[in-house]
Structure 1
Amino acid sequence: MKPALYPNLIPSYEHERLAALQPYQVLATPGQELFNVFVGIVAKLLEAPIALVSLVRATDVVFVGNEGLPEATIVDREDSMCSVAILQDGLTVFADIATEPCALVNPFVAQQMQLGFYAGQALRTPAGVAIGSLCVLDRKPRRLTPAEGELLEQLALVAQDLLRLQATRAADPALVPALRARLDGPLQQSLTRLATLAELHAWETSGDAAEVQRYTASRLDEARHLTQAMHRELQAALGEAG
């Protein structure tokens, strides 16, 4: 990190934020299977070639879930817009990075990667401290519709639950059997249904713009409701685990 160049990336509560991140450091290994499956579904649901679950550490950002960006699994904190997303209460959106780049991070990395769009939602601990983000990226500029933004926010709640679940399993293996009995079946069913919804969009061949719009709205609405149900199930199980 070069604080003289990018001082606004470091919040005043950074010490507390890094302390809150500590229990999740056990997950700071790129290529975690569960998160890779999850971000693959997120990318399809939001029609984005790239989706990531990130943890923002002191000097770098590690992508524990990575879809569509195999060349980068750990980047400098000053090079990642996820470092900006954790500073925001709501969605962080850059609709056209080429013409309106993010001034808080190194702009040359996005240029080199030919990124045109970024949308990210901060991932928080139960105490509300931002430790990472769920984001989607595109090679071209695009607009995030209100329905897509709402779905991304709901998916971020699931990502938070998954982070907490995996950290709990790693820290206390004794909880694994009970959590697996409660969650593995419903979790896999939900992931499968979300994946099916994402795939169905590719089969929509109607040339009627209004029909396509209605189909897309219906698909996103169903995905949102399923995501909310998945969040409730994970919250209940995590509550029982303490």
Structure 2
Amino acid sequence: MQPAPLPANEPDRLAALRALLILDTPPEQRFDRIVEFAAQEFEVPVALINLIDEGRQWSKAAVGMVACEMRREESFCSYVVFSSQALVVEDLTQDPRFADAPLVQQAPHLRFYAGVPLNSKEGLTLGTLCLLDHRPRQLDATDLAILGTLGALCAGELRGESVESVED
């Protein structure tokens, strides 16, 4: 797998992530509910809230996979952190960045990825809300809008904001 480049704002991004004091904390219902809803809404077997630090991807909430930690170099979500934009890969086996990734070539044999950025108040991408499936899929504009709204809700929770103050 081709690892994602580091964003230009990496030191600031990492400082903002650390300031949340959320890494390596126990599961929380407020995040579990978001991934449960996302998995149901999009009819996918896997939905995750992932945060990316210096060397790893860490899952704050997970449906369909045991909350996990993996090397940043093997993380699809690192591409979202680099670009600060949503990423949809309809078939991971057809994308040269991901075709030989362990999670594609070995169990669970993932084929689809969609991730939206989770941003700090300063607009720094700390991680993603992502969807995964074992088969290729497509998302339309409405799906992307719904996923983006769920991502904004999740980012607001990370920042400690109430639902009323969450913006896209």
- What is residue 51 of structure 2 aligned with on the other side? 55
| Higher Rg | 1
- What is residue 111 of structure 1 aligned with on the other side? 105
Cα displacement (A) at 1:18: 0.7
Cα displacement (A) at 1:137: 0.6
User: 2:34 matched to 1:42?
Assistant: no
- What is residue 151 of structure 1 aligned with on the other side? 146
- What is residue 158 of structure 2 aligned with on the other side? 163
- Deviation >6 Å, runs of 4+: none
| 1:22 alignment partner, one of 12, 15, 18 | 18
Amino acid of the residue matched to residue 56 of structure 1? I
Partner deviation per Cα, 1:152-180 (whole Å, 9 max, x = no partner): 01111000011111xx8xxxxxxxxxxxx
| 1:86 alignment partner, one of 72, 78, 81 | 81
Structure 1: segments with no counterpart, 5+ residues? 169-182, 184-230, 237-242
TM-score by length of 1: 0.62
Amino acid of the residue matched to residue 131 of structure 2? V
CA RMSD of aligned residues (A): 2.2
Cα displacement (A) at 1:30: 5.2
Matched residues in 1 for 2:69 and 2:49: separation?
A: 12
Query: What SS does the corresponding residue of 1:29 show, helix, strand or coil?
Result: coil
Matched residues in 1 for 2:61 and 2:48: separation?
A: 5
Are the structure 2 counterparts of residues 36 and 57 from structure 1 closer, same or farther at C-alpha, using a change threshold of 3 Å? same
Partner deviation per Cα, 1:45-84 (whole Å, 9 max, x = no partner): 11111101111011001110111111x5111111111111
Are the structure 2 counterparts of residues 30 and 86 from structure 1 closer, same or farther at C-alpha, using a change threshold of 3 Å? farther
Amino acid of the residue matched to residue 124 of structure 1? N
- What is residue 134 of structure 2 aligned with on the other side? 139
Amino acid of the residue matched to residue 118 of structure 2? L
Matched residues in 1 for 2:124 and 2:29: separation?
A: 25
8 Å CA contact retained: 1:30, 1:63: no
Amino acid of the residue matched to residue 104 of structure 2? A
Cα displacement (A) at 1:101: 4.3
Matched residues in 1 for 2:150 and 2:42: separation?
A: 11
Amino acid of the residue matched to residue 10 of structure 2? E
State, as a whole percentage, how many aligned pairs show the same letter.
Answer: 30
Matched residues in 1 for 2:93 and 2:130: separation?
A: 18
Are the structure 2 counterparts of residues 106 and 132 from structure 1 closer, same or farther at C-alpha, using a change threshold of 3 Å? farther
Amino acid of the residue matched to residue 8 of structure 2? S
Structure 2: segments with no counterpart, 5+ residues? none
Partner deviation per Cα, 1:24-47 (whole Å, 9 max, x = no partner): 233433533321121001111111
Matched residues in 2 for 1:18 and 1:106: separation?
A: 28
Query: What SS does the corresponding residue of 1:20 show, helix, strand or coil?
Result: helix
**Count of matched residue pairs:** 165
8 Å CA contact retained: 2:90, 2:138: yes
